[in-house]
């Protein structure tokens, strides 16, 4: 449909712009018969019946063009239709939880034999890579590996969770607490104990030589919306609550937030977004400005709104929005927090958006600032 629309558009532009190119063509095309043909065409056009027919044809053509354009716009806004089967989930026997039938300790080759090759790999807060696996963001999961290429980290926010105690995607918080008991209230890093955030959005449990974080969706009756499983060894290797900032980690957080956003959109039958490098720079500059000047706001210190900043960077948009997050340990915690904030959630799940750019910066204490700029044109 799009190719046909473009073809008709090209023909239309050529016809309308004839006075502009006709003279130029005469400079290098020397075919006398063209003039003769033009004279005959003009004589035919003088016939009233022919003129009426041509007017009718012209009207029909423009009506068809409008219909094609409207059809293309509707097609563009539809969610991608693709029949992708969810894997059959087996109850894990080796550990309490599995993600897409994978548990900690599996070999990388074994994982990829099951779920295919990764779509992307980016650095995470543990100094290793998250490998993201999905089919156009269906069956989305992230996996990390140790030096021996064995799974030491798992995450998903889709219906790929199975457990030996009956907890799965959509389980109620009280069921989780009943099955797992009291969550951790603090975690040790070096000689320091850090208090675990306790606002009800997630809980951390220690089991099977790992740290299991269960995330809840406050807007879906406090039900399980995601899970992260990190091996005890990997968690203990992280000496501080915040990872030391670097370029690779910044880029990792940016692409991970983008992937997590699309995974959530697929969960809600929405079209996926395209990563936009141009608006990413707009987002990066705002994150850096907040980190450098110690503030947290959609309006910067010059009084500019997100829309002002996008226009200043020559971003053309019909509709746009911005999400901000600050201080979350990772892209995962940032995304899950944004999904639990109604205004931010609306941006993540807005059907009209087409593009997303994510920019991350760190302050002097390595605390990350996250900016997401959405738009459509």
| Stronger pLDDT, 83 or 80, i.e. the higher one | 83
Residue 8's pLDDT band (cuts 50, 70, 90): very low
Q: Which of 257, 318, 324, 320 is nearest to 289 (CA)?
A: 324
Q: How far apart are CA 326 and CA 369, in angstroms?
A: 5
Structure tokens at 108: 């990388």
Q: How many CA atoms lie within 13 A of 339 on its CB side?
A: 30
What is the per-residue pLDDT for 191?
81
Under 8 Å CB-to-CB from 337, ≥6 apart: which residues? 201, 325, 328
What is the per-residue pLDDT for 83?
66
CB–CB of 367/249 below 8 Å?
Answer: no
What is the per-residue pLDDT for 338?
98
CB–CB of 223/299 below 8 Å?
Answer: no
Q: How far apart are CA 251 and CA 247, in angstroms?
A: 6
Structure tokens at 61: 């053509």
What's the whole-number mean pLDDT along residues 324-331?
96
pLDDT greater than 60 at residue 208: yes
What's the whole-number mean pLDDT along residues 204-215?
97
Could you read off the pLDDT of 265-307 as tens digits, one per residue?
999 999 999 999 999 999 999 999 999 999 999 999 999 999 9
Q: Which of 140, 165, 353 is nearest to 256 (CA)?
A: 140
Considering the entire predicted model, what is its pTM? 0.79
pLDDT greater than 60 at residue 44: no
């Amino acid at each position: 449909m799009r190719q046909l629309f473009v073809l008709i558009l090209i023909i239309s532009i050529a016809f309308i712009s004839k006075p502009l190119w006709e003279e130029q063509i005469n400079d290098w095309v020397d075919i006398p018969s063209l003039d003769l043909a033009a004279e005959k065409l003009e004589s035919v056009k003088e016939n009233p019946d022919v003129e009426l027919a041509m007017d009718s044809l012209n009207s029909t053509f423009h009506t068809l063009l409008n219909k094609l354009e409207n059809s293309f716009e509707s097609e563009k806004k539809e969610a991608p239709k693709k029949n992708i089967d969810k894997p059959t989930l087996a109850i894990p026997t080796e550990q309490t939880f599995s993600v897409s039938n994978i548990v900690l300790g599996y070999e990388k080759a074994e994982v990829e034999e099951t779920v295919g090759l990764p779509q992307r790999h980016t650095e995470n807060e543990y100094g290793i890579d998250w490998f993201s696996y999905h089919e156009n963001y269906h069956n989305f999961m992230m996996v990390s590996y140790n030096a021996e290429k064995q799974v030491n980290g798992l995450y998903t926010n889709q219906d790929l969770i199975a457990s030996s105690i009956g907890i799965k995607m959509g389980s109620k918080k009280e069921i989780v607490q009943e099955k797992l008991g009291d969550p951790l209230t603090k975690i040790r890093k070096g000689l320091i104990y850090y208090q675990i955030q306790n606002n009800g959005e997630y809980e951390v449990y220690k089991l099977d030589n790992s740290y299991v974080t269960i995330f809840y969706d406050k807007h879906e009756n406090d039900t399980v919306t995601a899970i992260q499983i990190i091996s005890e060894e990997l968690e203990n290797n992280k000496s501080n609550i915040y990872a030391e900032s670097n370029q690779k980690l910044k880029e990792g957080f940016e692409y991970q937030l983008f992937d997590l956003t699309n995974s959530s959109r697929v969960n809600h039958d929405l079209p996926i977004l395209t990563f936009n490098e141009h608006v990413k720079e707009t987002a990066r500059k705002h994150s850096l400005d907040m980190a450098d000047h110690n503030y947290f706001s959609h309006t910067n210190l010059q009084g500019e709104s997100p829309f002002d900043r996008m226009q200043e960077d020559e971003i053309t948009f019909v509709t746009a929005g911005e999400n901000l997050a600050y201080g979350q340990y990772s892209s995962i915690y940032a995304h899950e927090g944004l999904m639990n904030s109604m205004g931010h959630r609306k941006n993540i799940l807005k059907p009209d958006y087409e593009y997303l750019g994510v920019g991350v910066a760190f302050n002097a204490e390595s605390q990350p600032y996250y900016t997401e700029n959405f738009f459509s044109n």
